[in-house]
Amino acid sequence: MIAKRLRRSLDTSICIRDIFEEGKKLADVYGKENIFNFTIGNPSVEPPAIVNEAIKEILDTEDPTSLHGYPANVGHPDVRAHIAEYLNKTYGCNYDENGIIMTVGAAAAIVVIANALLDQGDEVVTFAPYFWEYKSYVESLYGKLVPALCNMETLQPDPVTFEAALSPRTRFVIINTPNNPTGAVYTEESIIAVTDILKRKQEEYGHPIYLVSDEPYRKLAYDIEVPYLTHYYQNTIVVYSYSKALSIPGERIGYLAMEPCVQDMRDLYAGMTASMRYLGYVNAPSLQQKMLLKCVDASVDINIYKKTRDILYQGLVDIGYTCIHPDGAFYLFMKALEPDDFQFCKEAKKEKILMAPGAAFSGPGWVRISYCVPDEVAARSLPAFRRLYERYQNQ
Cβ-based neighbours of 153, under 8 Å, separated by 6 or more? 324
- Minimum distance of ligand PLP from residue 135's CB (angstroms): 12
List the interface residues with ligand PLP, window 122-181 (CB under 6 A): 131, 176, 180
Q: Is 288 in the site for ligand PLP (CB under 6 A)?
A: no
Q: Provide the pairing of β-strand 254-257 with 36-37.
A: unpaired
What burial class does residue 371 get, using C-beta atoms within 10 Å of its C-beta: 0-12 exposed, 13-18 middle, 19+ buried?
Answer: buried
Distances from the Cα of 47 to the Cαs of 11, 44, 244, 299, 373, in angstroms? 36, 9, 9, 8, 15
Phi, psi torsion values for 40, nearest 5 degrees: -110, 160
Residue 254 in contact with ligand PLP, rule: CB under 6 A: yes
Interaction mask 198-227, ligand PLP, x per CB under 6 A: ----------------x-x-----------
Minimum CB separation of residue 5 from ligand PLP in Å reads: 22
Q: Does 47 bind ligand PLP (CB under 6 A)?
A: no
Q: Residue 241 interacts with ligand PLP (CB under 6 A)?
A: yes
Nearer to ligand PLP, 143 or 216 (CB): 216
Closer residue to ligand PLP in complex, CB, 110/348: 110
Residues 296-335 that bind ligand PLP (CB under 6 A): none
Enumerate residues 6+ apart whose C-beta is below 8 A from 202. Answer: 208, 209, 235
Please tell me whether residue 251 binds ligand PLP under the rule CB under 6 A: no
CA torsion sign for 32, 350, 14, 112 is: positive
Return the closest-CA partner of residue 147 out of 376, 359, 335.
Answer: 359
- Counting contacts by CB under 6 A, is residue 286 touching ligand PLP? no
- The CA-based dihedral angle spanning residues 12, 160, 369, 350, taken in that order and rounded to the nearest 10 degrees: 60
Minimum CB–partner distance for residue 103 and ligand PLP (Å) = 8
Q: Which stretch binds ligand PLP (CB under 6 A): 104-112, 264-272, 273-281, 360-368?
A: 104-112
Compare residues 95 and 240 and give the one whose CB is closer to ligand PLP.
240
Chain positions contacting ligand PLP, by CB under 6 A: 41, 105-107, 131, 176, 180, 214, 216, 241, 243, 249, 254
